[in-house]
Chain A
């Protein structure tokens, strides 16, 4: 038995590439599956959300401008970093949720593989969903999918890591930036994932992660006028209609998803059609 006292981590938010504490000064307690205290993560406030949206908006133009090849490589880099730190994630998932190590290991593997899968979509989605439109006249006319802007998301409670990646990856792969609220009960892997992002060449502000309560943050996400889309996958279905009502003020695009597929990427993209005359 060692007498060494281990160094515990302070779990903070992830906004604009930095790890600030919540401006509200509030925290909440996260316990292990066995009821033992683990950490006091931040209880994010409306102001934290606003700060995160400002960062996400500022980052969006640059991220959107990055080439598809570059975005794909950065997402792949996130997968590399996650793979390298998988033991930490397995431990955190086991500790917080009480699942077996085998099950936690499987979740981390799937999370890594999912990132790789979405990384590959960056330079393929427009070939599959774009179009050259044969209009009845001397015009060159094409439609391409474009990123939508700043997207908010509520990650599902479980699986806390895979669920988080399933909301983040399809949103950012097209050039959107995201503000995501992590699993309330199991926020540890989300905040450790922020450390992965911070070392993966993801530009500051592209991914912003908050921890806290869904019922407190989700309505502010729905009504925020500088958020273009909202993934409510992690929110109970019965609460979706209130989100859609609040989101109507800026006609926010609000969706929830049951699977991972390219439709999930396209849901937060806009089709742009361009006409140009053909002639001498």
Chain B
């Protein structure tokens, strides 16, 4: 087990290294840099000033040197300075993380706590009206883009209450905190809850046909015990996989949702930074997201062993 973990961690480091190379060079392929953008906006170009500024920011150096400079700094905990705000990148990124983390956590919680029980119900009542209704709702969940759903929610809230939830970093009441975080989280999580529901349903249908379910009934176990204790325990693995993958995809949904709901989280910040070619922010932020995704995958693999005793990671 220990050797497995060590190997796994080394593999994660290799993955992260690969990601860092990809991010770095992809970002440089995008035409234009911060200096081009600034000078284009100013409408006046003195080539000498431009060269000067490029030199100042270090983007005149060969790419390899720039890359080594970034990685070297990263390993020392020096993330560089934002081109736009000229503040340390760390200071720009850190305060935004909890906001997005809360949103993402709530969205996942929402998708699991809605998707799993509804998936079980849908499987147990296969072919019934409630099954069809849930499947239609989940299909709409999969097909509704979250930005559009977000706009619908905002419009509806204006139409019904005459106001819309506006982000407030220090909510005064529970209601405000709810509006600040839960509504956007539900909008983002709706899609993953639909996906979770469908996977739970198909996985449960598979498991409910197994012999040990009949054994459980033959013991005299109640429907609830059969469905949730005996069946769901076996059906949960694919669901965990999907939730793990969704955790990674969530960031895409959050970018638009944070924009729609005007939430100052990392996802929206990332888009702005890309627009400005703010290399230090983009590189470090994407690197951070990559670390989160890699760890989410690792957690999912470890959870397999927790839920299924037949899975043991050996050397």
Q: Do A and B bind?
A: no
B interface list, Cβ under 8 A from A: none
A interface list, Cβ under 8 A from B: none
